Amino acid sequence: MRLAKRIEKLPPYLFVEINKKIAAKRAAGVDVVSFAIGDPDLPTPKHILDAMWKAAQVPANHRYPESDGLPEFRKAIAEWYQKRFGVTLDPDKEVLPLIGSKEGIGHIALCFIDPGDIALVPDPAYPVYAIGTMFAGGESHYLPLTAENGFLPDLDAIPQNVLKKAKVLWLNYPNNPTGAVADLKFFEKAVAFAKKHDIPICHDGPYTEIAYDGYKPVSFLQAKGAMDVGIEFHSLSKSYNMTGWRVGMAVGNAQMINALMRVKSNLDSGIPQSIQQMAIDALRGPQGCIADNVKVYQRRRDKLVPALNRLGLKVLSPKAALYLWARVPEGHTSASYAAKLIDEAGIVVTPGRGYGEHGEGYIRLSITLPDDRVDEALKRLQALKPGK
């Protein structure tokens, strides 16, 4: 059988490979501790589950949903953006529910990219930006995120011939995998860039609620003029431990939202309504569950950062998101250090190279595993000798 070129061009999905490695170690009897995948270990809060259960009893919720979501859900999203960020959204034109934000992030390339077009994609990054671009027939031009530039892209360094063909700019703060954050000044610079070159912006912001030491991340849409040039993807996944329920949203520029809605209405039939109902209750209900989660993550972060630095890795304490982005010791690559950790300590991390060329020299640890497993990993890390 001959598959389409876009399938042949696909790199192996990062986590499929890692899962295979974990399975092999487990089969060999190793008690593996995995920091590989960013998926909250804590359960969905009970009041949110109750809303789903109640909605599931109503026969109207057993039928096809509308692909643009329940009007009440769009309203709840707009209210939440107003309350949390002071951003005003028209629930019918500037809000679009998604079957998890990944779905929209993948599909939106179809709105902007024709064959031969370019997407500006950070490196390292969440892989979906570049894959969606490739599926639509486009090419990614990578913007290096380095420690020296605070893991923010240098928009002034993009060559003129690339700018001419660029149809979209991807940004993601708080950032996966680096844990970096961006302020309004950076987003305002990005808006000015978008206006000058007529390049729309897609900002991916699922971690705005996961922040430490009292830091409060901003929304891209708070930047002056952002609504003219861009949209933001957000998600209930990380804020409310809802990765398995698949519910997120795109908000912002009406023309971009409408284009994505038209793609979606031809490909999918929306989010199950009982899940939309739970999302409504999550956004409108008590928000204390988020602060409780954050306390747990912060405690894990504060245990792991010193243990990693002692080993000769260089890792800063992130202000937000769920990841430690650690520079491996001199003489190691991402892959060789990840292999060392699994072989000498049964600890699985993601090689930074999996997120792009500029991820080389780093490993990523996700702090989404139970406390007793974090403590087990700490014990093993403390038993390792620093350096090579």
Ligand X SMILES: *Cc1c(COP(=O)(O)O)cnc(C)c1O
Residues of this chain that bind ligand X (CB under 6 A): 38, 100-102, 126, 172, 176, 204, 206, 235, 237-238, 243, 248
Tokens of 254: 């009406």
DSSP label of 253: -
CA dist 240 and 279 (Å) reads 9
In whole angstroms, the minimum distance from the beta carbon of 205 to ligand X comes to: 8
Q: How far apart are CA 334 and CA 351, in angstroms?
A: 5
Provide the β-strand partners of residue 96. 250
Residue placing its CB nearer to ligand X in the complex, 111 or 381: 111
Nearer to ligand X, 126 or 151 (CB): 126
Q: d(Cα 180, Cα 28) in Å, to the nearest integer?
A: 37
DSSP result, 109-126: HHHH--TT-EEEEEES--
3-state secondary structure of 95: strand
Q: Select 100 or 138, whichever has its Cβ closest to ligand X.
A: 100
Query: Least distance from C-beta 154 to ligand X, angstroms?
Result: 20
In DSSP terms, 363 is beta-bridged to: 326, 351
Judged by CB, which is closer to ligand X: 236, or 345? Answer: 236
Q: Which is nearer to ligand X, 234 or 300 (CB)?
A: 234
Q: Is 163 left (phi over 0), alpha (psi -120 to 50) or beta?
A: alpha
Place of tokens 């999203």: 77
Identity of residue 155: L
Minimum distance of ligand X from residue 225's CB (angstroms):
24
Mapped onto helix, strand or coil, the DSSP state of residue 129 is: helix
Nearer to ligand X, 187 or 346 (CB): 187
CA gap 252, 248 in Å, rounded? 14
Q: Which is nearer to ligand X, 38 or 318 (CB)?
A: 38
CA-to-CA distance for 42 and 92, rounded, in angstroms?
33
**Which residue, 94 or 204, has its beta carbon nearer to ligand X?**
204
Cβ nearer to ligand X, comparing 101 with 293: 101
Q: What are the respective helix, strand and coil percentages of the chain, to the nearest 5?
A: 45, 15, 40
CA-based radius of gyration for the chain: 21
Measure the CA–CA gap between 356 and 325, rounded to whole angstroms: 14
Shortest separation between residue 232's beta carbon and ligand X, angstroms: 11
Minimum CB separation of residue 208 from ligand X in Å reads: 11
Least separation, in Å, of the C-beta of 322 and ligand X?
A: 8
- Residue 353, Cα to own-chain centre: how many angstroms? 17
- The minimum distance between CB 139 and ligand X, in angstroms, equals 21
What's the length of the chain?
A: 388
Measured from the CB atom, the residue of 208 and 235 that comes closer to ligand X is: 235
Q: At which residue do the structure tokens 């995120």 appear?
A: 145
- Minimum distance from residue 234 beta carbon to ligand X (Å): 8
Rounded to the nearest whole angstrom, what is the least distance from the CB of residue 168 to ligand X in the complex?
15
Q: Which two tokens stand for residue 231?
A: 């949209």
Q: What CA–CA distance (Å, rounded) separates 253 from 185?
A: 20
Q: Tell the smallest beta-carbon distance from residue 294 to ligand X (Å).
A: 16
Q: In degrees, to the nearest 5, what angle opens at C-alpha 200 toward C-alphas 218 and 126?
A: 60
